[in-house]
Structure 1
């Protein structure tokens, strides 16, 4: 597939498992500094670790897969060859390429036919997609013209329905949900 020329950046979900190795703990500050810098540059949209730091999910914005691999290649964990399993998937592949958000002045609305039937309501899917887009709870609240507390309650219900405990697990859980219901 040819590289995308002058195209809008695409969101990618990266899932990685790491060796439980002393180098992992020693390099953690450099790893966090690297990704914090990318967050401030708008490359890292969100993510986090679990399983005592031996797994992570990252959502990044990049022109193409080659750019994602270049970003990963500069990570201290990658340079030390600590990654056991790396999966990179485009967000369109994850949530369905047929989904296209239509932005209105106050709220982002998705095409109703694109909403998977299942445990999450259409509104919860919209909130989850906004979270994956990197919007904060306050930004989501502003889009829906509700309080941040109302958004927190939606997110709590989403987490409970998907059996997750943090935002970093959302992309993988939504993928499983879409596969389960689709």
Structure 2
């Protein structure tokens, strides 16, 4: 299962001192396939992680071994089952909707294009706009424009609403 984790940290000088150990810990979990993606928000005072684990207890054990948690620098933690938020269709990861006929990606009915689905999945993985831009070899401004279109089509205004909105979006079978 995949889990979406949001954590806030205390404003404490120990964060800077432990950053290397924190990054090393998560880099190791990335190579093990436990950490699927993530990033920091609000100048390092928050982070969002996408983890693969068998259950919620395992997620809490993984978080408990993080140097920030061991030093009691974690202010709050939210763990959500990402597979449950996305629904069974996305768990199977059928990929982006296939273009049919004259559909070239700009759907007047408001459905997401294949490219917008890719961007949405990267957002759910916790990637920043800059990281998404690097992966897609486009400018951060282009990513912002894609996100604006995604928000408009899904009638949302924040990343936090994305998973729920995508669950309601129809994902055609691959």
**Structure 1 counterpart of 2:67, from 70, 76, 83:** 76
Equivalence for 1:17:
8
Deviation for aligned residue 1:22:
1.2
Report how far residue 101 of structure 1 moved. Answer: 4.0
**Distance change in 2, residues 1:71/1:119 (3 Å):** farther
- 5+ residue gaps, structure 2: 99-108, 152-157, 170-174
- 2:37 is the alignment partner of 1:46: yes
Shift, 1:91, TM fit: 0.9
**Could you give the per-residue CA deviations for residues 109-132 of structure 1, whole angstroms, max 9, x where no partner exists?**
469xxxxxx977253553145424
Q: How far has the Cα of 1:89 moved from its partner?
A: 0.6
RMSD between superposed Cα atoms in Å: 3.8
**How far, CA to CA, are the matches of 2:166 and 2:111 in structure 1?**
10
CA-CA distance at 1:43 after TM superposition = 0.9
Using the size of structure 2 for normalisation, the TM-score is 0.65
Separation in 1, partners of 2:141, 2:42 = 26
Distance 1:82 1:134, change over 3 A: closer
Taking the aligned partners of 2:97 and 2:66, their CA distance within structure 1 comes to 35
Segments of structure 1 that go 5 or more residues without pairing to the other structure are: 1-9, 112-117, 141-147, 164-169
Distance 2:120 2:65 in 1: 28
Cα distance, 1:161 vs structure 2: 4.4
- Is 1:92 the equivalent of 2:52? no
- Residue from 128, 146, 151 that aligns with 1:158: 146
How do 1:59-74 and structure 2 match up within 5 A?
A: 59-74=50-65
Measured against aligned partners, the alpha-carbon deviations of 1:103-157 in whole angstroms (never above 9, x if no partner) come to 4xxxx2469xxxxxx97725355314542469997xx9xxxxxxx4479887443
TM-score calculated relative to the size of structure 1: 0.62
The reply on whether 1:26 has 2:26 as its aligned counterpart is: no
Aligned length: 147
